[in-house]
Amino acid sequence: MPRFISAAVIVVFWLASLSVQSAEGNAQKSEENQKVPTSQVVIKEKPDPETRSEVSGTEINATVVLRAIFTKSGKVTDIKLVSVTPQDLPKGLAKDIAKRSKKAAQKIKFSPATRDGNPVSMYVQLEYNFQLY
């Protein structure tokens, strides 16, 4: 029976296009909130998504991309699905690995980014790579 072989996790700090915005929903965007952090998020623990014992079909390599806020208080919030590739995965499988990736992202342990020595929230892009057999 097919099985998950691995689920690699890649974290991409998404500052190029977003800068650092007030990621906590603050409507006011002051000049200070647009500054780049003086230190980035430091990932301490990044659990892999839960594996399941069976996957129907043949060998599949898939990537789930999520966007989340790593808050200044140390929580991962507002996890949004950006994409699942390849796009022609069976819908049930794509939904399943996306759900498992979101659950794993919620469990990430990290030290928040800082700006001028103070913790700040920031958007982070997460990638979970799956090799399915």
Tell me the pLDDT of the chain averaged across its residues.
Answer: 78
Is the pLDDT at 4 greater than 50? The verdict is no
Number of domains within the chain: 1
78 and 68 Cβ atoms separated by less than 8 Å: yes
Tabulate helix, strand, coil % of the chain (nearest 5): 15, 40, 45
Domain that holds residue 87: 4-132
* Residue range 70-112, pLDDT digits in tens: 999 999 999 999 999 999 988 998 999 999 999 999 999 999 9
23 and 122 Cβ atoms separated by less than 8 Å: yes
Give me the percent of the chain exceeding a pLDDT of 90: 54
Name the pTM for this structure. Answer: 0.73
Residues 105, 102: Cα–Cα separation, whole Å: 5
Strands (DSSP E) along the chain, which ranges?
Answer: 4-13, 42-45, 60-70, 76-85, 109-111, 113-115, 118-120, 122-132
